[in-house]
């Protein structure tokens, strides 16, 4: 029973982390859109790299969830 409760708590924590990462992704999309409007390719690439790193982090969190 205790293990089940601990498992639920950890899976909830993972969901919260992923939600935070997704919020950051949405912010990065706005930054990328601004870079596109301003023809700032340097900023656009930096945003893309950061976004991919965040996606990798979010994907890594999945392994902490029980299948």
Phi-psi region of 39 (alpha: psi -120 to 50; beta: other; left: phi over 0): left
Binding to another protein (CB under 8 A): which residues in 21-50? Answer: 21-22, 25-26, 28-29, 32-41, 44-45, 47-48
CB-based contacts of 34-43 (< 8 A; 24+ apart in sequence): none
- The reply on whether position 9 binds another protein by CB under 8 A is no
Residue 2 binds to another protein (criterion: CB under 8 A) = no
| Other C-beta atoms lying within 10 Å of the C-beta of residue 24 | 15
Shortest Cβ distance from residue 47 to another protein (Å)?
A: 6
| Cβ atoms < 10 Å from Cβ of 47 | 21
Q: Which residues does 7 contact at the CB level (< 8 Å), separation at least 6?
A: 66
Q: Does 66 bind another protein (CB under 8 A)?
A: yes
Binding site for another protein (CB under 8 A): 4, 7-8, 11-12, 14-15, 18-19, 21-22, 25-26, 28-29, 32-41, 44-45, 47-48, 51-52, 54-55, 58-59, 61-62, 65-67
């Amino acid at each position: 029973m205790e293990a089940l409760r601990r498992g639920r708590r950890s899976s909830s924590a993972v969901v919260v982390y992923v939600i935070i990462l997704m919020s950051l992704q949405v912010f990065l999309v706005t930054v990328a859109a601004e870079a596109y409007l301003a023809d700032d390719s340097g900023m656009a690439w930096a945003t893309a790299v950061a976004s991919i790193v965040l996606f990798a982090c979010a994907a890594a969190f999945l392994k902490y969830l029980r299948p």
